Amino acid sequence: MKPTSLKSVIAASSVGTLIEWYDFYIFGSLATIISTKFFPAGNPTVALLSTLATFAAGFVVRPFGALFFGRLGDLIGRKYTFLLTLVIMGLSTFLIGCIPSYESIGFFAPLLVLLLRLLQGLALGGEYGGAATYVAEHSPAERRGFWTSWIQTTASVGLFVSLLVIIAVKGAMDEQSFGDWGWRVPFWISIIMVGISILIRMRMKESPLFSKAKAEGKTSTNPLKESFGHKLNFKFVLLALFGATMGQGVVWYTGQFYALSFIQNTLSIDVAQASKLIMWALLFGTPFFVVFGWLSDKIGRKWIMMVGMLIAIVSYRPIYSAMYDAGSVQMKKEITAQTATEVKIMADEKNTGDSVLTTTTLKVYEDGTTLKEVQKQMIHADASKADATKDIITAKTVILDTGSFWKLIFLVFIQVIFVTMVYGPIAAFLVEMFPIRIRYTSMSLPYHIGNGIFGGLLPAIATFLATKATMANEVATKAGTALPYDKPFLEGLWYPIIIAAVSLVIGVLYINGEDNRIED
């Protein structure tokens, strides 16, 4: 294929995949706000965990999407299958932005969000395998890692675009309007981008290798049975999962999504500043997907991915410890003379007779960092309704100084490099493991279990582990006993460290990685 035609193939495949990732990640990027809209008020931690669990549900169903759409892709072709996934993803995302809040329709709100989130997950489960297979089947063997690595950039670029849109929408209105309805705009914008992408993809032709196999009558009549019922092929599916995609998945989600969650929730950094921080790190780091994809054509795919996992395993705890030191106000010196406090009491519009006491405290630190703490306390006319666990809600917003801001960018950038090492070569690696007739199905399942299950559950599991450790320390403090955890905010990292370590051992011992043929 001519280079210009190949670039068109990659561009058309990448645009659709990028938009699907954008759709998928605006939910996670807005998790903190969404938790206040679609879930019961009263316990912000439980609401956030519920939102992250709903976010994770989209990942859990991705393997089912991989099976369903992978089978379609091996039966009817790559082109029409990932056109269908694009339509499902776009409509689901748009409709999430239309769901009334929990206050309006009660438990139907989280139920509808969960349903649409599941549809998003199914669609994404069918998208990646198709795009990666489609590009690989157009690429020359000696540059397959390089060309398929462009597909790998779309996940990071999709996250980048989602953050960019959120910042732009947030900057176009005041904080109150964004909190009330402005957060829905990024979901609505999705329908425009999906429409454009569908027009582009309609012009694409079917993969030449699949067309040839179909013309010769060599396509599979039962891709699921051939993929998982054949002992040798199933062995490769398991190797791809436990020796590569499982570790790649947790490294990917730690470096990009858990980093964002840690910055927003553990460090309480302002949403817009946190988004900018991740965007800079992605901007600097994303070109390395192509660098490592190119390098995998020269020295092989396996060892680049294995070294990426190893470095991530040994450096996560030092990196997150440094992130805490740079971003937490606990590690900064307050200028107490500049602390300002404002107290207001207003009637509660929803409950006649009750009132809300709002205490706003602004603290300034020596390096220029500021902390705004807003505590709202419900004052009940009927004292018997008082509930200490629900009546007081505190929200913290930290604006970092320039030095701390750029230090955090550097620490996230390092993690993005780990991501590019394990993720850049993996599309070519997976495509080369399986034959044409069942490639879409066989490579999609291990990829989406590795990323959807092991990676997608990471934010919820890691946040749960860190929250549990923090609560244990709080109990110990009240009891006057020794703290069980020295740094509770690091406890969530045990999940990606252990999963990546298991994958590294299996990958090093059992993956050969020398077969790069895809014409079989």
| Cα 513 to Cα 500: distance, rounded to the nearest angstrom | 18
| Predicted local confidence at residue 291, as pLDDT | 96
The three-state secondary structure class of 318 is helix
**Of 297, 289, 306, nearest to 428 (Cα)?**
297
Q: Exposed, middle or buried by CB within 10 Å (0-12, 13-18, 19+), for 349? A: exposed
| Cα 470 to Cα 488: distance, rounded to the nearest angstrom | 5
| Predicted local confidence at residue 77, as pLDDT | 80
| Predicted local confidence at residue 516, as pLDDT | 61
| Predicted local confidence at residue 195, as pLDDT | 84
Per-residue pLDDT tens over the stretch 379-388: 888 877 777 7
Between vectors from CA 418 to CA 412 and to CA 422, what angle results, nearest 5°? 145
CA dist 33 to 51, 264, 335, 464, 515, Å?
10, 11, 30, 19, 47
Structure tokens at 465: 């582990």
List phi, psi (to 5°) of 489: -70, -10
| Predicted local confidence at residue 42, as pLDDT | 63
| Cα 178 to Cα 185: distance, rounded to the nearest angstrom | 9
Q: What is the reported pTM?
A: 0.83
Buried/exposed code over 10-23 (b: 16+ C-beta within 10 A; e: otherwise): bebbbbbbbbbbbb
Structure tokens at 176: 């109150």
| Segments of the chain with pLDDT less than 50 | 4
- Terminus-to-terminus CA distance in the chain, angstroms? 19
CA dist 153 to 255, 289, 513, Å?
14, 6, 22
Structure tokens at 182: 């402005």
The three-state secondary structure class of 382 is coil
| Cα 385 to Cα 373: distance, rounded to the nearest angstrom | 26
Structure tokens at 303: 């060892």
